[in-house]
Every structure is written in structure tokens, then in C-alpha cells.
A and B are shown apart, each in its own frame.
Chain A
Amino acid sequence: MFSLYKKELQSYFYSPLAYIISAIFLLIFSLSFITWITNLTSLSLRFSFSAIFYSQFFYFIFLIPALTMKTFAEERRAGTEVLLMSTPLNVFKIVMGKFLAASTVYLLIMVLTFVYPIIALLYGNVVWSSLICGYIGFFVWGVACIAIGILMSSFTENQIIAAILGEAAMIFLLFIDSFNEIDMIKRTPVLSTIFSAISPKARFADFASGIFSLSDLIFYISFIAVILCFTMISIEKRRWSRG
């Protein structure tokens, strides 16, 4: 599995895609950073990274499907899936290898954003606990998005469709607790409980405001596990109905 992981990681760095995504990511982050800092003079609120995080994730999750779209779509299209499947590698190792590689790239992008807390540290105080908490939430939510992106990529041979499905999934999950506002849903308490329970946004909000809740963390981890299982099932199913 390590060979696969290494190869996937290398291929992210050979193509311009990862660099472009990192650039856009950092651009959005820095714009947000700058806006908040300049606004400080007019508002009497203390500046905090949590506010940035909370408004950030809205944008960055749309970048993630672009990162993951080629994971499985390209394999099937280029005919290399048969290579992976004709070796002792099983589906679990294949999915994990790709997932870990994508998560590593995401981690690296995130590490690049550390430059902002460092700048903040030079000019003032940084509340470390809430910062670290925010970053954990940032990371975990991003990795969950990566899992979804990989799942979408396993549905199709076409990278663009994989990206579009990923974006649609992001939007859906983002607004899932807003669905609770719909009257029809309000009337069925079962549905509204489910929706608020699985809303990643609500849970992320906790991390962003500096609250480290174990149940939130477990939510994300189990979410990721479930999505990866679905991905494995999707790959197997493709194999069975290949025609």
C-alpha cells in the first residue's frame, strides 16, 4: 500500500493542479485575514482566528472536489484499474492509499496557512488553545470532504462529473441543517433530528469557536469511515457490473 500512497502523492506534485488549488486556498485565506484585520479598527471586537475559520470553510470545501476528482475516475478511463486489481492489492488498500495521499496533500496545504498565526504572533498575542482547536476542526472537516470527493470519483469515469458531484455533495451537506427550516421537515421530527445530528457545519462551529468536543471528533471520524466503506462498495460494484 505504501507504493500506491507514494505514487499518488508524487502524481499530485507533478501536476499543476495541486499547486493551483493551494494558491487559491491561500489567496482566500489571506483575503479573509486581511479583511478581518482592517475591520478591527472599526469594530471593537477582538480578532480571532475562529471567526476566519468559520467563514473560511464555506469557500475551501469547494476546492476539495477539484483535488480528488481524478482519484478513481482517471484509473477507470485510462485502463489502469485493471493493473491495480490484478495484483494482490485489495480494494481496502487501494482506497486507503489514495485517501491517505489526498489527505497528506491537504495537510500540507493547511500547514502553509500557519504563516498567518505566525504573523499574528509577531504583532500580538495568540490564543493557542482555540487556534489548535480550530485547526483540528479545519483538518478533520477537510478530510471528511476528501472522503466524499473520492467517493464521487469512484462513481464515474469522467473527472468533471466527479468534481460536479463532489461540489453538489458539499452544498448539500453544508446546508443540511438549513433544511430544518423547511416547513415540511419541521413537521416530521424524526427527519429534523437526523438532519441536525449529521450536520457537519454545526459540529465544525464548535471547533471553530475553540470547543474541543470528543463527540464531534468521533462524529467526523465515523463519517469518514462510513464514506470510505461506501467507496469500497462502489468500486466492487463497478467490477461486478462492468460491461
Chain B
Amino acid sequence: MIEIKNLTKKYGNITAVNDISFTVNKNEILGFLGPNGAGKSTTMNMIVGYLPITSGKILVDGKDITTNSNEVKKMIGYLPEIPPVYLDMKVIEYLNFVAGIKGVEKKQRERQVARALSRLKITDMKKRLIKNLSKGYRQRVGFAQALIGDPKILILDEPTVGLDPNQTLEVRNLINSLKKDHTIIFSSHILQEVSAVCDRIVIIDKGKIKAIDTTENLSKLNSEHITYVIKIGGNKARVKKALSVVEGVKSIEIDDVAAHEVYEYIINVESEEVRKDLLHAISKGDFELMEIKQHKLSLEEIFASITKEETEQTSEKSVELSK
């Protein structure tokens, strides 16, 4: 449905988006993940036709955004980071206005506006001045605007930022319900949200794509990093020695605990089978087992490690340059 090929955006010497490529399939929810300043909003603004492209191609349903911009714009509903609402208008006036500028036929306008209002649960607010709405409601009005015109594609830039937990859940449910009729790109830096809703995730950092995969596959990275956190009472050196000889142990870190001769051992192992051998080693050495926990690498940590690698590399480079 959407094809991004070698997309680049430069502002003078600064490259905001650097040669990225990915596709979005029909009726898919794609999560666009990255830290602040990664290039998510820039990419979205380019897809929507607001920002001109430096180089590369964006094809929406086979049509090029630069040559067929009006056709493409008709297919897309966009919710930017700051909801593009006019504070001096009432909600319903605003949505009618949006219906007008998007070219919705007069007969359809009322119906579409009513539907957008009810989907976002803001029908009660329709006569209110947008200036008087809270941030969460303004966000909803912005989302309602994106739905007008019944676009095939929805591009949502951080749609849940600033919403309270209830509203966030409602928006998430809404996105899930929209899936069957729409193709959705949804950006966030809250991983839990992205993994809960999206089929596939694109991770972007500093203008480059770091990973594209299904949510499942990325979570599977968990199994490569199994860590046990075991609180053991006993002499530190002896415990460490006993544990390190166990087959399959990759690394051991020791943390202090506020108790006499008790330490927390953070043990990185190859597989879950090693746990049995660890417990065996502990009882053989007559150590006191106080607590055992398994620590699965969360999506946050996977994300952090993926985006951190580049930082370390670049900081090494800058050290070299300064020499």
C-alpha cells in the first residue's frame, strides 16, 4: 500500500532522514518507533506531502506523492504531533470546515462528521470552543479530523501523548477497530503501546532504520538474553567461584544487598536448562538460596541496545576525530 524507497531529507548539511526504505501492507498497523529526534515526524510529514523530499520515492497505492499529490492526499488522514486545530472554532464547525477543505461532498459531510464525533466519543463536546477543551480532548478532535473523508490510510504521530490512561486505552481500542478498513502508520516512543497494537515495527534512530520486524520476532530476542537474579547468602568469592564453573554461564555480576554476607548475583546464561545446574551448585556448596528471579529482556532494553550501539560507535568516531 505504501512504499518508501531510499527516502532522504536534508536541511542544508543536516540529514534528518537518511536513505530509509520500508513498505506498509494493506490493512496493516505499522509501528514507527524511535527516540525523539529520530526522524519519525519528518518521515510522516513527507509521506503526507507537507515536507518536500530531498531524494527517494514515496508511493502510495502505486501513486507518487510528488507527481500525483492531490490524489495521494485524498487517500491519507493525518494526525500530526500537535493537533492542527483552530482554537477559535467550535468542534463541529472545525470538523465541517475540514470536511469542506478535504473535498467531501456536501451530502456526505454531516454523516461523516457525526461518525467521526461518535468514534472519538466527543459528540457531547461538539458545540464547545476548542480553546476551552483540555489537551486530551483537543487530541481527540485532531484524530477525528484525520478520519474525515474516510481515507484509506491513517498516519498518526504520537496519538496518545498527553492522554490519561483511560483515554489512551480508548484510543488504542479505536485504532484496533479501524484496522479492518484502514492501513495505519502509528508512531510512538512508548514501546509497550506499539507492541500491543502493531503488526510490524520499524525502529528508527538518527534518521536511519535500525530494525524492521514483526512484533513477535522482536520479542523473541528475549530468548537470546536470559538472566537470572539470585540472592545467595555466603562468602562472595566462594559463591562466585562455584557459580562460574557451571556450564552455560556467560557472565556474573554481583550487587550488594543490605544484609550481612548476602549478595545478589546477576547471571547471564545460554539457556533455561542452566538454571537446574545453578541450583545444584548452590546446594552443593551449602550456600543459602534466598531468592531467584528470571529477568527477561524487555522491549525497552532491546530498543535501548539497538539504538545505543550507534551512539557508542559515533562517540568513538568523534573521539578519533578530535585527536
Contact = CB atoms under 8 A, between A and B. Distances in A.
A82 B80 contact: yes
A15 B88 contact: yes
A124 interface: no
A14 B101 contact: no
Contacts of A7: 86, 89, 93, 97
Interface in A76-101: 78-90
Given A82-B45, A87-B102, A239-B52, A11 B88 contact: yes
B186 interface: no
Contact of A11 (B51, B74, B86, B103): B86
A135 B14 CA distance: 54
Contacts of B11: 241, 243
A214 B70 CA distance: 39
A42 interface: no
Contacts of B76: 86
Interface in B57-115: 70, 73-74, 76, 78, 80, 82-89, 93, 96-103
A2 interface: yes
A3 interface: yes
A232 B12 CA distance: 23
Contact of B89 (A2, A11, A88): A11
A46 interface: no
A39 interface: no
Q: Which of A4, A79, A82 has the most CB of B within 10 A?
A: A82
A86 B93 contact: no
Contacts of A114: none
Contact of A82 (B50, B74, B99): B50
Contacts of A11: 86, 88-89
Nearest to A83: B84
B102 A88 contact: yes
Interface string B7-24: 000011010000000000
A82 B86 contact: no
B86 A239 contact: no
Interface in B18-42: none
Contacts of A15: 88
A225 to B, nearest CB: 24
A10 interface: yes
A87 B101 contact: yes
Interface string B231-249: 0000000000000000000
A88 B84 contact: no
Given A14-B88, A88-B74, A83 B145 contact: yes
Nearest to A88: B70
Interface in A1-59: 2-4, 6-7, 10-11, 14-15
Contacts of B70: 88, 90
A86 B50 contact: yes
B108 to A, nearest CB: 14
A159 to B, nearest CB: 14
Which size class do B's interface residues fall under?
A: 20 to 34
A240 interface: yes
B49 interface: yes
A5 B11 CA distance: 33
B78 A82 contact: yes
Nearest to B96: A3
A239 B14 CA distance: 17
Contacts of B147: none
Contact of A4 (B48, B74, B83, B101): B101
Contacts of A187: none
Contacts of A239: 50-52
Contacts of A6: 97, 100
Given A2-B100, A87-B101, A79 B51 contact: no
A220 to B, nearest CB: 30
Given A78-B86, A82-B80, A242 B100 contact: no
A3 to B, nearest CB: 3
Contacts of A243: 11-12, 14
Of the candidates A6, A79, A90, the one having the most CB atoms from chain B within 10 angstroms of its own CB is A79
A195 to B, nearest CB: 38
A84 B101 contact: yes
A80 B50 contact: no
A112 to B, nearest CB: 23
Nearest to A14: B88
Given A7-B97, A11-B86, A239-B52, 19 more contacts: A2-B100, A7-B86, A11-B88, A15-B88, A78-B86, A78-B87, A79-B80, A79-B83, A80-B86, A83-B80, A86-B48, A86-B49, A88-B70, A88-B101, A88-B102, A239-B50, A239-B51, A243-B11, A243-B14
17 contacts: A4-B101, A7-B86, A7-B89, A10-B93, A11-B89, A15-B88, A79-B82, A80-B84, A80-B86, A83-B78, A83-B80, A84-B101, A87-B102, A88-B70, A88-B102, A90-B70, A239-B52
Please give me the 7 A-B residue pairs with the lowest Cβ-Cβ distance, nearest first: A3-B100, A83-B84, A79-B82, A243-B11, A88-B70, A80-B84, A86-B48
